[in-house]
Structure 1
Amino acid sequence: MDDVPGPSRASFLLGNALQISGRQSWEFHAAIARKYGSVIKLHWLFGTEALYVFDLLALSHIIKNQEKFDQPSWYVETHNMMLGPGLLSVTGDTHRKQRKMLTPVFSAKHLRTVVPIFYQVTDKLIQAISNRVPTHSESTDIDVLAWMSRAALELIGQGGIGYSFDPLIEDISDAYADAAKYFVVTATSPEMIPLRQMAPFLKHLGPSWLLRWVMEKSPVRLVRRMVQITDVLHERSLEIFRAKRAAIEAGDDSDSKDILSIMLRANMAASGEDQLPEDQLLGQMSTIIFAAMDTTSNAMARTLQLLAEHPQVQTKLRREIADAKVGSNHLDYDQLHALPYLDAVCRETLRLHPVAPMIFRQAFEDTVLPLSHPIRATDGTLLREIAVPRGTNILVSILACNRDKALWGADADEWKPERWLAPLPAEVESAAIPGVYSNMMTFSGGARGCIGFTFSQLEMKVVLSEMLANFTFELSERPAVWNLAGVSYPTASTESTKQELWLKYTVSGGAIMSVVSLSNGN
């Protein structure tokens, strides 16, 4: 790794860590990819080195070899502390067992059954937004991120754990919703990265109560805030989980189609060795909500912003949706997936703006990374493979892979939904990109690939189709700045920490009909 090129150290203690993870580090990511290529050496925390990778052969080797490359121990430990032993917080056989139990609930067969649940939530969303316009001919500003966050939490609440967090048509403050909204921003902030990487050592300080006391008294405000957030998430999750389990055991919840109910029934029916203990089931529940809320809501908000920036695309998409809805109020599962332009808009947004710009892996043994294209070493020689020592942190750049001009062409940095309506570049088709979704790395791949990406896609298509059928969006005078984080998010300025994204909107006749239908109880 000494011969792999990369930027110089920015800090003796922190290396390039803050440059790569800062809120406005987009240009740093782009610059090092342009200058150094698809494998880059970074100076990492406390004098260590890391690799920044988007070479496809190297990515395939990393993604598909979970025994050699898995989530770093610091990542697993901190997620275990914050969410419990769910999919993101376990490794090896435990991870495989959990994933096996969850896989059936994300099948197309099951997703067809949750579409009506999604529309129940979305109808209330449309009604609530419609009610806030002074007159139906006027435009007004709306914080679309706030509404997408509320909708995403309610969608995963009802579709994921069979619980309603938010009536939507009323403004009710909810501590759980607030905690869930700020979980990712707090946990993945640059200031937290050095502290999170110390987690494997902190657990050896003593019993858990002592570690908790140390964190509660921490001089770092974000650490204290993280304790508060995880307490709120855990207490409500435990309350919901125990009520749900009691209902199932009493036979009162035999028909529920939410993920938690199906998982609990499957766990009760499993043999002893395949059953998951309560802490893993509870951790699964918290993980599902965490993984589904900010990712989907921010992707939907970004899509609406892009449609406001490109009114011709918005008009074309609205026309496609309106034509499909002739004679029906809601589109079913098959109809939603038969809308090529809606699909193209979603794919292009997720390609250009992946909600998780990078993911972490760690080498768990000394190994060698093969490269699809040789890189020029610092001594001038060509490297066709790189020896990677055990313990090396690896940053998989989803952002750089999705925007690689060698694959996607000179317009790779442009938002062009039409690219999905024609054959993709031959380089993309032949590249064998190791992601689970549509020739890109947005949802990762392999055994750690996002298990719920089809659920997320369905949410996006239901919500966006109804929003565009009922409203027209334009850019607001209020600024919007997107911040790089574990899940990228918008604020009104580079200094602000409040998550928000404002657009102007007007109401169409379809929204009026939706409100009338809801008020009649239909």
Structure 2
Amino acid sequence: MVSDPVTLQYILNNPSFHLSPTLQALMLWAFGPRSVILRTGNDHAQLRASLNPAFTAAAVRQYKPVFVKVAQSITEQLDNSVALSIDMCPLLSDATLKSISEVVFGCAVEELGADFVEHNTHLAHLGTSQSAGQILLLHRAIYLPTTTFGALRAQLNFANREGWRLVRQKIEAAKVGLETDGDLYGVLVNSNSLREEDIVGQTSVIMAAGQDTTANTLSFGLIELAKNPQLQNSLRAEIHAAIGTDHENIPYDGMPLLNTFIKESLRMYPAEAVSERVASEDVVLPLSESVATTAGERINQIHLRKGEILTLAIASYQRMESRWGDDANTFRPSRWLDGTVYRGEAIGPYANLLSFHGGPRTCLGWRFASVL
């Protein structure tokens, strides 16, 4: 298990490390062989380069009206609720699903039908109910007549069917001169840099990857707010002062407390606490500090043999006292403003965190998630 930042950075940027057999099996089940997650080498680099234009900062700014509309919908639901307690998890999951539907596919979630919601929800539940042992032992048994495999096959079939329908819809709309680049799939179709089947091949991962991951981190952040009324009041006051009555032009960069709250939520509650990688050849792992072996010898590197599997302890890294301060296990957004946070080399795309991983396989939708 690895939490050393130098070692993590080396692993995430080194082509000698691949997804472990367990993770490969899970990703193949859930997202299909054309998913960018399962591509390797030049194939992965080329596909990712073609997908990037739909995930740039400029593209995400274009999607902000959708996020505002969804946030207003949640606010209205909360205002109209008469319950003494509210379960925010399904509410946030529904909100992120609506955002994905409109931003990615260019249509309301209702237009995609009940099957879209059902398959996404089922996949999320399956992802939390299967152990690593089950996945590893059964990764070649996708065609067995079990409930789990049946649900996965149904989800993949649905994603492929909807993906083809949406791509062809964008192509036909472009032919008659209609505007189609207001959503992610429209941008990809108009770029002419991807084969249709490669766009369709991302449907399953886009449908599922950002929904519960984002919603879960948000839910934990709201729990922290509920435990800290003073922080809650300060955050509310900052947002009201910054936005005023103009909900169209929200100055996100002008709300330091909101930004630190987002960073602290991502730090304390990453969507993926651990990940796995396997070495495809013998490698030497560097360490940021020397460590003592059981024999009492101090070493600055670790020799790893081909085929050995490493667990990347993302959650442990994000609670290291040497990086985040003596109170690293405490939810304290102000650490991002008072100089507590380590300012050295960055190993992730956002705030030196690994919540979106790092290196060539950094989550494409990290800007999407941080804005949402």
Q: TM-score, normalised by structure 2?
A: 0.91
Q: Is 1:376 aligned with 2:289?
A: no
Aligned mates of 2:155, 2:54 — CA distance in 1: 28
Aligned mates of 2:155, 2:62 — CA distance in 1: 32
Give the match for residue 429 of structure 1.
343
Further displaced range: 285-294 or 152-161? 285-294
Give the match for residue 182 of structure 2.
257
Matches within 5 A, 1:191-202: 191=131, 193-198=132-137, 202=140
SS of corresponding position for 2:81: coil
Give the match for residue 116 of structure 1.
65
Matches within 5 A, 1:113-512: 113-133=62-82, 140-166=84-110, 174-191=114-131, 193-198=132-137, 202=140, 212=142, 214-215=143-144, 217-218=145-146, 221-252=147-178, 254-266=179-191, 268=192, 270=193, 275-276=194-195, 278-326=196-244, 328-330=245-247, 332=249, 335-425=251-341, 428-430=342-344, 432-459=345-372
Aligned mates of 1:160, 1:305 — CA distance in 2: 29
Aligned mates of 2:189, 2:21 — CA distance in 1: 28
SS of corresponding position for 1:370: strand
Q: Is the 8 A contact 2:180 2:187 kept in 1?
A: no
CA positional deviation for 1:100: 0.7
Matches within 5 A, 1:3-152: 52-65=1-14, 67-84=15-32, 85-133=34-82, 140-152=84-96
Question: Cα deviations across residues 195-251 of structure 1 (Å, max 9, x unaligned)?
Answer: 433577x3xxxxxxxx65x32x24xx5344433444444444443343333333443
Question: Cα deviations across residues 490-521 of structure 1 (Å, max 9, x unaligned)?
Answer: xxxxxxxxxxxxxxxxxxxxxxxxxxxxxxxx
Q: Is the 8 A contact 2:174 2:180 kept in 1?
A: no
CA positional deviation for 1:445: 0.7
Q: Is the 8 A contact 1:362 1:392 kept in 2?
A: yes
SS of corresponding position for 1:371: strand
Q: Is the 8 A contact 1:63 1:446 kept in 2?
A: yes
Aligned mates of 2:332, 2:130 — CA distance in 1: 32
CA positional deviation for 1:398: 0.8
Inter-CA distance 343–362: structure 2 relative to 1 (3 Å threshold):
same
Q: Which runs of 5+ in 2 are unaligned?
A: none
Structure with greater helix share of residues: 2
SS of corresponding position for 1:424: coil
> Structure 2 counterpart of 1:302, which letter?
F
Inter-CA distance 190–286: structure 2 relative to 1 (3 Å threshold):
closer
SS of corresponding position for 2:201: helix
Q: Is the 8 A contact 1:53 1:396 kept in 2?
A: yes
Larger radius of gyration: 1
> Structure 2 counterpart of 1:322, which letter?
H
> Structure 2 counterpart of 1:329, which letter?
D
Inter-CA distance 91–307: structure 2 relative to 1 (3 Å threshold):
same
Q: Which runs of 5+ in 1 are unaligned?
A: 1-51, 134-138, 203-210, 460-522
SS of corresponding position for 2:202: helix
User: Aligned pairs, how many?
Assistant: 371
> Structure 1 counterpart of 2:209, which letter?
A
Q: Over aligned residue pairs, what C-alpha RMSD do you find?
A: 2.4
> Structure 1 counterpart of 2:4, which letter?
D
Question: Cα deviations across residues 149-204 of structure 1 (Å, max 9, x unaligned)?
Answer: 1110111110112121149xxxx98232132123244135343x23433577x3xx
SS of corresponding position for 1:369: strand
> Structure 2 counterpart of 1:401, which letter?
Y
Q: Percent identity?
A: 26
Q: Is the 8 A contact 2:167 2:189 kept in 1?
A: no
CA positional deviation for 1:389: 1.2
Aligned mates of 1:322, 1:110 — CA distance in 2: 26
Aligned mates of 2:262, 2:226 — CA distance in 1: 14
| Runs of 4+ in structure 1 over 6 Å off | none
Aligned mates of 2:101, 2:151 — CA distance in 1: 24
> Structure 1 counterpart of 2:109, which letter?
F
SS of corresponding position for 2:327: coil
CA positional deviation for 1:101: 1.3
SS of corresponding position for 1:423: coil
> Structure 2 counterpart of 1:132, which letter?
S
CA positional deviation for 1:145: 1.0
Q: TM-score, normalised by structure 1?
A: 0.66
